[in-house]
C-alpha cells in the first residue's frame, strides 16, 4: 500500500465538494420552499389555491424540479468538456455556473419566471459537477480503495442534505418570515463550495487524463505526488504502466475523435454496449424506485406518516438525512470494499421494496385513522427505507458508472448516464406531488415497489461484482453473456512471455471492430 499523504486527502475533499450543490438542493432548498416567507413571495400559500390543489402542486413541483432539469443539460455539457479541457478545469467551470445561478435565485424577489430561469442556470453547474467530481475521484483512486474514495462524494452530498433541513429549522425558529429568511438559507452552500473553488487552483488534473493527452511525464509526476512515492517505485510503475497500456490499446480509435465516433464505438462493440446499457438501467431503477422523489418531499411524507407540526417535520427530515449519511459512511468505509458493490446494491433494493409495500398499505388503510402503532411503524419505515437507499442505489450507481468503462469512452458513457439520471430525476421530482394527489398517495408507493422488484431481479442477474477489479481489467468481466453477469470473475493475472505477446495483439473487441 502507498502512504496516504495530506495532498491526496486535500485533493479528495476539494473535488468531493462538487457534491454539495446537489445535496443542499435536495435538503436545504427543497425544505426552504416550505418556509412561510418563501410561500408568501412566490404565491405558494394554500389559501390562494383552495379550489385548485393540483395547481399548487404543479407550481411547487416546477420550482423544485427546474433545477433538476438544468442539471440534466449540465451533465450533457460535461460530456463535451471533460475530455477536451480536462477534469479539473471543467469542475471549476461548473462551480462558476452553479454559483452564479444561486445568486440569481437568491435575489429573484418573488418573480416566478426569474427563479425558474435561475434554477435551470444553477442546475447546469450542479449537473455537470455530478459527472466531473466522481469521474475525477475514480481516476486518482487505487483499485483497492476506489469504492471508498468515490463514495466520499456522496458523504459530502448527504452531509449538506441533512444540514439543509436543520438550517431551515433554525431559520424558521430564529428569523422573521421575511425575504431575508429564505435568502440566507439558500445562499449557505456558496461558502464551502467557494472555499473548495479557491483551493482547486492548487490541484493538478488526473494522471489518466494527462496520460491520454500524451503528457506522460506530467502524469507520472502527479501520480507519484498522489501516492507519495518515488517515481522508480515498482508499485507506482505497475500502476502507471496499466494506465498507459489501456490508453495505447484504445488511442488508435478513440483518441481525439468526435463524440459521434465514440458513440458509434459504444453501440457497435458488444462489451461497450453492455456496460453502457447496464449503467442506463441502473440509473433508471435508482430514479424510479422513489429515492429522490421521497427526498425532495420528505417533510410532506413525514406529515402523511403522522408527524405533527412543520418544525417537527423539519427536525424529523433532518434526522432522515442523518440516517442516510451514517449508513452511507458505513457503506463507504466498511461495506463497499468488503462485501462488494453487488451485495450492497441488492440488499438495499430489497429493503426499499419491503418498506414501499408497508407504506402503500399504511397510506391506503391507516392514514388519518388515528392508529398510533401504524403511524409509528410508517415513520420507522421511512427511516428503514433510508438505510436501504443509502447502502444501495444511492451510491452504487455513481461507483459503477465511474469504474466499468475504459478511459477512452468513460466520460461519454458516464455523462450520458448522468444526463439520464437528471432527466429522470426531473420527471420524478416534477410528478411526485401530482402522483400523491391523483393516486391517493398509496398508488405512488405501489409503483415504486414494482420498480424495486423488477430492479432486484434484473440487476441480480446482470450486474457483476467489481470490487477490487482494476479499471483496466473491467473488459474481462463483460466478456460473457449478460445474463451470466452474476457469476463473472477475473482469471488470475499471470506474467508470462505468452501473455506479454498476447497483450500486444488486438483484443477480440478490436478484431470485431475491424
469 and 402 Cβ atoms separated by less than 8 Å = no
- Evaluate whether 255 touches 169 at the Cβ level (below 8 Å): no
Whether 1-203 shares its CATH topology with 257-487 is answered yes
Note the pTM of the prediction, 2 decimals. Answer: 0.76
CB 383 within 8 A of CB 320: yes
Among 492, 466, 493, 461, residue whose Cα is nearest residue 477: 466
Decide if 442 contacts 364 (C-beta within 8 A). yes
> Where are the chain's structural domains?
1-203, 257-487
Contacts of 306 (CB under 8 A, 6+ apart): 372, 375, 376, 378, 379
Q: Could you tell me the end-to-end alpha-carbon distance of the chain, in angstroms, rounded to an integer?
A: 40
Query: Is the Cβ–Cβ distance between 12 and 149 less than 8 Å?
Result: yes
Rg (CA), the chain: 23
Asked if 279 and 459 touch (Cβ cutoff 8 Å), the reply is no
Please, what's the b/e burial string for 375-410 (b: 16 or more CB within 10 A of its CB; e: otherwise)?
bebbbebbebbbbbbbbbbbbbbbbbbbbbbbbbbb
Helix axes 190-199, 87-106, angle to 10 degrees: 150
pLDDT tens, position by position, for the chain (514 residues)?
455 688 999 999 999 999 999 999 989 998 999 899 999 999 988 888 888 878 888 898 899 899 999 998 998 898 789 888 999 999 999 999 999 999 999 999 889 999 999 999 999 999 999 889 988 998 888 877 777 788 788 889 989 999 999 999 999 999 999 999 999 999 999 999 999 999 999 999 999 889 888 888 888 888 888 888 877 777 788 888 878 877 776 665 555 567 788 888 888 888 888 999 999 999 899 999 988 888 888 888 998 998 877 778 888 888 998 998 888 888 767 777 778 888 889 999 999 999 999 999 999 999 888 888 999 999 999 999 999 998 888 878 877 877 888 877 877 887 788 778 888 988 998 899 889 988 989 999 999 999 999 999 999 999 898 887 877 788 888 887 888 777 777 776 644 333 444 444 444 333 333 3
Tell which CATH architecture fits domain 257-487.
Up-down Bundle (1.20)
Q: How far is CA 512 from CA 19, 211, 479, 508, in A?
A: 39, 26, 13, 6
CB-based contact 469:387 (threshold 8 Å): no
Residues near 36 by beta carbon (within 8 Å), at least 6 away in sequence: 172, 177
Report CA-CA distances (Å) from 391 to 22, 266, 319, 326.
Answer: 19, 30, 17, 10
Overall CATH class of domain 1-203: mainly alpha
Alpha-carbon distance of 440 to 412, in angstroms, equals 40
Amino acid at each position: 500500500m502507498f502512504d496516504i499523504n495530506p495532498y491526496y486527502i486535500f485533493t479528495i475533499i476539494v473535488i468531493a465538494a462538487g457534491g454539495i450543490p446537489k445535496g443542499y438542493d435536495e435538503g436545504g432548498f427543497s425544505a426552504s420552499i416550505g418556509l412561510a416567507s418563501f410561500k408568501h413571495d412566490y404565491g405558494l400559500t394554500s389559501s390562494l389555491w383552495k379550489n385548485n390543489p393540483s395547481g399548487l402542486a404543479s407550481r411547487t413541483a416546477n420550482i423544485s424540479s427546474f433545477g433538476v432539469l438544468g442539471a440534466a443539460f449540465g451533465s450533457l455539457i460535461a460530456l463535451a468538456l471533460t475530455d477536451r479541457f480536462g477534469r479539473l478545469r471543467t469542475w471549476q467551470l461548473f462551480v462558476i455556473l452553479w454559483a452564479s445561478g444561486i445568486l440569481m435565485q437568491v435575489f429573484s424577489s418573488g418573480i416566478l419566471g426569474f427563479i425558474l430561469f435561475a434554477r435551470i442556470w444553477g442546475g447546469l453547474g450542479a449537473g455537470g459537477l455530478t459527472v466531473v467530481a466522481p469521474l475525477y475521484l475514480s481516476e486518482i483512486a487505487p483499485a483497492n480503495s476506489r469504492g471508498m474514495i468515490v463514495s466520499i462524494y456522496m458523504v459530502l452530498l448527504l452531509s449538506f442534505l441533512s444540514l439543509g433541513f436543520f438550517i431551515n429549522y433554525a431559520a424558521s425558529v430564529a428569523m422573521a418570515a421575511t425575504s431575508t429568511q429564505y435568502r440566507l438559507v439558500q445562499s449557505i452552500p456558496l461558502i464551502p463550495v467557494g472555499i473548495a473553488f479557491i483551493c482547486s487552483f492548487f490541484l493538478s488534473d488526473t494522471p489518466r487524463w494527462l496520460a491520454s493527452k500524451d503528457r506522460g511525464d506530467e502524469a507520472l509526476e502527479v501520480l507519484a505526488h498522489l501516492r507519495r512515492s518515488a517515481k522508480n517505485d515498482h508499485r507506482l510503475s505497475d500502476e502507471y504502466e496499466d494506465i498507459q497500456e489501456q490508453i495505447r490499446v484504445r488511442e488508435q480509435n478513440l483518441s481525439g475523435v468526435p463524440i459521434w465516433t465514440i458513440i458509434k464505438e459504444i453501440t457497435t462493440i458488444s462489451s461497450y454496449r453492455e456496460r453502457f446499457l447496464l449503467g442506463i438501467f441502473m440509473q433508471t431503477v435508482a430514479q424510479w424506485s422513489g429515492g429522490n422523489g421521497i427526498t425532495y418531499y420528505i417533510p410532506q411524507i413525514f406529515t402523511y406518516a403522522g408527524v405533527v407540526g412543520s418544525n417537527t417535520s423539519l427536525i424529523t427530515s433532518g434526522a432522515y438525512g442523518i440516517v442516510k449519511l451514517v449508513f452511507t459512511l458505513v457503506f463507504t468505509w466498511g461495506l463497499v470494499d468488503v462485501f462488494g458493490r453487488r451485495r450492497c446494491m441488492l440488499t438495499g433494493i430489497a429493503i426499499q421494496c419491503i418498506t414501499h409495500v408497508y407504506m402503500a398499505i399504511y397510506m391506503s388503510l391507516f392514514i388519518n385513522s388515528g392508529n398510533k402503532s401504524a403511524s409509528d411503524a410508517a415513520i420507522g419505515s421511512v427511516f428503514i427505507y433510508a438505510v436501504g437507499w443509502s447502502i444501495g442505489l444511492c451510491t452504487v450507481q455513481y461507483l459503477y458508472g465511474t469504474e466499468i468503462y475504459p478511459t477512452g469512452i468513460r466520460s461519454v458513457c458516464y455523462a450520458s448516464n448522468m444526463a439520464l439520471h437528471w432527466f429522470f430525476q426531473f420527471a420524478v421530482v416534477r410528478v411526485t406531488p401530482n402522483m400523491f394527489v391523483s393516486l391517493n398517495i398509496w398508488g405512488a408507493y405501489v409503483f415504486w415497489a414494482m420498480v424495486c422488484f423488477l430492479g432486484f431481479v434484473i440487476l441480480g442477474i446482470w450486474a457483476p461484482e467489481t470490487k477490487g477489479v482494476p479499471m483496466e481489467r473491467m473488459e474481462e468481466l463483460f466478456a460473457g453473456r449478460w445474463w451470466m453477469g452474476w457469476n463473472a470473475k477475473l482469471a488470475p493475472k499471470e506474467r508470462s512471455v505468452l501473455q506479454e505477446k498476447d497483450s500486444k495483439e488486438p483484443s477480440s473487441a478490436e478484431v470485431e471492430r475491424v
